[in-house]
Amino acid sequence: MRVNNAEIARLFERVADLLEIEDANPFRVRAYRNAARTIRGYSLSMVELLKQGKDLSELRHIGDDLAEKIQEIVETGDLPILREIEAHTPASLGDLLNVPGLGPKRVKALYQQLDICSIEDLRRAVYSGKIYTVKGFGEATVRSIINRLDRSRPVQRRTKWLDAEKTARPLLRYLNKCKGVKKVTMAGSFRRCKETVRDLDILVSAKLDTSVMQHLSNYPEVARVISMGETRSTILLDDGMQVDVRVIAPESYGAALMYLTGSKYHNIELRTYAHNLGFKLNEYGLFRNAKQLAGETEYDVYSTLGLSYIEPELRENTGEIIAAQTKSLPQLINETDIRGDLHCHTNATDGHASLKSMVNSARKKGYEYISINDHSQRLTVAHGLDKARLLQQLKEIDQLNSELTNFVILKSIEVDILEDGSLDFPDSILKQLDFTVCAIHHKFNLSEKKQTQRIIRAMDNPYFNILAHPTGRLINQRAAYNINMREIMLAAKQRGCVLELNAQPERLDLDDIHCKLAKDLGVKLVISTDAHSQEDLDSMRLGINQARRGWLEATDVLNTLPLTQLKRQFKRI
């Protein structure tokens, strides 16, 4: 069995969760979490690095002990220390840590006193009233848990796009090596860059007698062949991902790619549009009677239908076909449009790299500027900066700026929005910054009215500039808190504030629907990575994916602007 980086990281994160519940040494817990972050974000496979004889202990946050454990996972598919911990601490306890208000001590108390091991156990204890027998669980705490449990039901357990990419990339390379294969393309929701995917769809262009399917069945990471035919096959990989592979003749490749990319409702609308023009559109091509008029490329199909080419990210039947007909599709933003990153952390708080390291990495990406946004003082868990430490950091930035040419470090902070809507630093401090990134990190369980008012009250401060990760959701982990997004966006527009599209793979917040709403309302956005390491700066492409799904153009995003114009946008007084 072969494992990928996402699986290794998942095992390390599980160890950290269970150790935290056991009140283990916090440095040990942090070591596993930092290692997991390094592994998940590393561009090369741990398997390949070991094959090349690479000493994994040389990687950031990977010492000798953890390097040995990575090798154990790669060679056996298992992590013995995790099994040891699970022998006396149920693995499902880790899921309880995803419930806001349940820290390790409370999870431990629930386990020891009520034998609560899972979310369902917790749900039963809450609704039966047994939870009140545990010290520390009063009315307010339990009401908060009930709200979160009720809202957590719709959260879908699907694979995040970035993890799916790490599964897809080596498989595509493998299929391309098959003799007779001309082209291999990802399709489905992955190609539309949805934030999560259920399975992978792959289209192969080859002669129909090519041995693609036999080649596929020999892929080392195949756990089970579900079905195998000459042109269609379905396999299950070791990491649990299902993959559907389709082989099509070159003359139909474009039509098949459109069909398999979807979405379902885009396909239905497009076929109906073609039918009304007297055509027949299917996965083999565009036909009039029995004659194929187009099909080799997607461009040919759209063009023959009199439509502009519709980018895959837009194919959700949200008006894109009418826009293609009237030549009014947006010129979607690209990563090359981005001039700088406006939300980055250093090791002054909870980041993993120094100020200089983050700056050097941003310069290598061709950026013109970067913003440093370490946490403010209230977020003690992230070692937030107090007034003295912040002012010292500003001096360091000034010094470094004096040594740089054609690049600027912007002075900022990720300042907490307190429950009453005030900001975590006084105006006398905030006015010394180039701009602020403001965020909610506590009291997620307020009512929609109170949470919305909290944010708008914060926006009333003239030194409020950007609302960070606006809904607070974590994909597959935590639902968004209750807010009226339209009301917040209108308030932001009125006050000259902007919203962030946070590109962290577990956030991607705003979602595509809210991006489109912001565009329609004329509210400006920034796309930022919330980078906590040099590698995290590469998450910008994930934010671009999300922005494109939300119909965003470069003119909708402020960090496509030159520095002078950008600063002008942040001046409210």
pLDDT value for 86? 79
Above 50 in pLDDT, residue 183? yes
- Please state which of the four CATH numbers 3.10.105.10, 3.20.20.140, 3.40.50.300, 3.40.50.2300 is assigned to the domain occupying 335-570: 3.20.20.140
- Phi, psi (rounded to 5 degrees) for 414: -90, 95
* Whole-structure pTM value: 0.77
Q: How confident is the model at residue 148 (pLDDT cuts 50, 70, 90)?
A: low
More confident position, 4 or 490: 490
In this prediction, residue 153 has a pLDDT band, given cuts at 50, 70 and 90, of very low
| Highest mean pLDDT pick, 105-109, 160-164, 382-386 | 160-164
- pLDDT, position 155: 42
Which neighbouring-strand residues pair with 159?
197
Span 469-498, average pLDDT: 91
pLDDT at 113: 85
Contact 104, 21 (CB under 8 A): yes
Region 230-245 average pLDDT: 91
> At residue 2, does pLDDT exceed 70?
no
More confident residue, 157 or 214: 214
Quote the pLDDT of residue 156. Answer: 44
Give the whole-angstrom CA distance, residue 420 versus residue 450: 9
pLDDT at site 154: 43
Cis peptide bond upstream of 144, omega within 30 = no
* Distances 284 to 260, 263, 391 between C-alpha atoms, Å: 11, 17, 64
CATH number of 5-152: 1.10.150.110
Flag whether pLDDT at 87 surpasses 80: no
Give residue 3's pLDDT.
75
Which tens digit of pLDDT belongs to each residue from 104-125? 778 888 888 888 887 778 877 8
Looking at residues 328-351, what average pLDDT do you find? 96
Write out the CATH class of domain 158-248: alpha beta
Pairwise CA distance, residues 26 & 28, whole Å: 5
Report the candidate in 331, 340, 255 with the shortest Cα–Cα distance to residue 295. Answer: 255
Q: Which residues make up the CATH 3.30.460.10 domain(s) of the chain?
A: 158-248
Structure confidence by residue, pLDDT tens digits, 428-471: 999 999 999 999 998 888 888 999 999 999 999 999 999 999 99
CA 284 from centroid of its chain's CA atoms: 34
129-146 tens-digit pLDDT: 788 888 878 766 776 777
63 vs 343, residue with greater confidence: 343
What is the average pLDDT across 67-86?
86
User: Residue 91's pLDDT band (boundaries 50, 70, 90)?
Assistant: low
- 303-307 long-range contacts (CB < 8 A, ≥24 apart) are 304/279, 305/270, 305/273, 305/274, 305/277, 305/279, 305/281, 306/277
Q: How many helices (H) and strands (E) are present in the chain, helices listed first?
A: 24, 18
pLDDT-based confidence at residue 53 (cuts at 50, 70, 90): confident
Contact by Cβ (8 Å): 385, 377: yes
Start-end ranges of CATH 3.20.20.140 in the chain? 335-570
Residue 534 has pLDDT above 80, yes or no: yes
Lowest mean pLDDT among 148-152, 249-253, 282-286, 506-510: 148-152
Out of 138-147, 274-283, 330-339, 552-561, least confident range: 138-147
- pLDDT tens figures, 539-558: 999 999 999 999 999 999 99
Instruction: Tell me where in the chain the CATH 1.10.150.110 domain(s) lie.
Output: 5-152
pLDDT for residue 426 is more than 50: yes
**Averaged pLDDT for residues 183-203:** 95
Mean pLDDT value across the chain: 90
More confident residue, 41 or 51: 51
pLDDT classification of 151: cutoffs 50, 70, 90: low
